[in-house]
Structure 1
Amino acid sequence: MSKGIKVNESELREKVVAINRVAKVVKGGRRFSFSAIVVLGDGEGSVGHGLGKANEVTDAISKAVDDARKNLVKIPIVNDTVPHEMYGKYSGGYVFVKPAAPGTGVIAGGAMRAVLEAAGVHNVLAKSKGSSNPHNVVKATINALSKMRAPHEVAVQRRVKLSKVFNG
């Protein structure tokens, strides 16, 4: 999927995943600043992540939101869930995302939950393995979601009818 998806800016919802205080050691001691990772989504299949660093938390969050706007990707959503199972990886973070029946809810932890809810997925089973670092988990989850293919795309690629894709 391509980056820089066009969406209505007013509909984007932001979710702060993690805020970290970082220190730079200088001649006079330590200088503290803040790092924030934010997930941005419209709830209809567009989701992005961003990282911002600043001396104040609010500035770090606003920088992260600006960065997330640049990294939006479009993901397919079928019946409020993902179309098929998929693994995602980023650095040491591994995730597994699986479709779920209506009424299941979002069964995912921390950073994965933020990404899936921002994207507009309402029923999904997800598991995070490996690194629990929020940066790696967010990026691995977006990697898994961006590799998903909608049923109509699969039907066109295979040159078969859409019903054939659903029935196997």
Structure 2
Amino acid sequence: MNTYLPRLRKQHLSTTALLLKPETKPITRETLQPFYQQEQISALLDVESGISRTAPLRWKSRRRDSFSLPYFTDLSRVDPFLDSTPSGVPKSGRWPSQPVPKMEDTQFQQGEEDDENKIKDLSRLTGLPILYLQSLKIRELVTHRVTNQTRLGKIAKQYVLTIAGDGNGMIGIGEASSTSGELASRLSQYQAIKNLRPIVRYEDRTIHGNVKVKMGAVEVLLMSRPPGFGVRCSQYIFEICRCAGISDLAARVERSRNPMNVIKATVQALTAQKTPDAIAKGRGKKIVDVRKAYYGRGVY
């Protein structure tokens, strides 16, 4: 009984193997005709007829076909008779190790030509003349180091916030971060130039009325002032007013005094002013009433 079961199992396995064995057909012209052209079929049959089925059994450790080398070698040494010796390599001995390539410094380097090309690109992008772009006032107001924690570790970068203006009613803000401080500075300058926007000024010296803007936890209140008052505010708002061409202004920063939010809130307040025409239409009055010039009132 113990010898009968293995026989049945062996017979069952052999029968299953025969059933699962893939069916193979001899290679003929009829079997290849649906897949190849006549010239390709002739070439395949010629190659097949030239290969002996018993050749691999006779090769053993060394090949004897037409593709085998006519001599024994490990291909790691230079043969003085059969191999052509390159210059600088001895006739006997191993090949020299491959020299390590010298990597050039790929750090961003900005030159005068790159500056000129970038200014031309900015002029083409914004539609502003090159002389106008070169005369802009650019100030870097915020510069600090930032760190991004990733699964590979901490990645340190330099953050720069820049404002740009022409001193005549145009202001723009740009920010950028990079591992190189110089690159971050240039990118923020280019971004500020791209974001140039016009602001509404009253008599080309102050704003129209009072404007209050909230940015995050920062609340900025800008107030118009009479001629000769000057710009009395924080250093960040003072630089923005210089770039925008505002000479009479008072400002108050309430709650938080984060420099980044103060700058962004100030620029948003300057660009979000309502014109006297819009205020007059909303109130149903004349423009002279809105400007406080009716019946000889003082204008400021």
| Aligned residues of 1:5 and 1:73 also touching (Cα < 8 A) | no
Q: Distance between the aligned counterparts of 1:156 and 1:6, measured in 2? A: 33
- Structure 2 residue 239 is matched with structure 1 residue 114: yes
Count of residues paired in the alignment: 165
Which consecutive unaligned segments of at least 5 residues does structure 2 have?
A: 1-124, 295-300
Listed one character per residue, the Cα deviations across residues 6-54 of structure 1 (whole Å, up to 9, x for unaligned) are 6532332111111001234568865432100001111111111111111
1:32 to 142, 149, 156: 156
**1:15 corresponds to which residue?**
139
The one-letter amino acid of 1:78's match is: Y
| Aligned residues of 1:12 and 1:41 also touching (Cα < 8 A) | yes
The one-letter amino acid of 1:123's match is: D
**2:261 corresponds to which residue?**
136
Task: Say which structure is richer in strand.
Answer: 1
SS of 2:190's equivalent?
helix
Q: Which 10-residue stretch deviates more, 28-37 or 91-100?
A: 28-37
Q: Aligned in 2, Cα 1:103/1:5: closer, same or farther, shift over 3 Å?
A: farther
**1:61 corresponds to which residue?**
185
Task: Say which structure is richer in helix.
Answer: 2
**2:217 corresponds to which residue?**
92
Q: CA deviation at 1:73?
A: 2.1
Please give the TM-score of this superposition, normalised by the length of structure 1: 0.83
Larger radius of gyration: 2
SS of 2:174's equivalent?
strand
Q: Distance between the aligned counterparts of 1:29 and 1:158, measured in 2? A: 58
Please give the TM-score of this superposition, normalised by the length of structure 2: 0.49
The one-letter amino acid of 1:149's match is: K
**2:175 corresponds to which residue?**
51
Listed one character per residue, the Cα deviations across residues 79-128 of structure 1 (whole Å, up to 9, x for unaligned) are 31112111012111210000112222111102222222211111100011
Superposition map of 1:142-153 within 5 A: 142-153=267-278
Q: Distance between the aligned counterparts of 1:70 and 1:92, measured in 2? A: 27
Q: CA deviation at 1:161?
A: 4.6
**1:74 corresponds to which residue?**
198
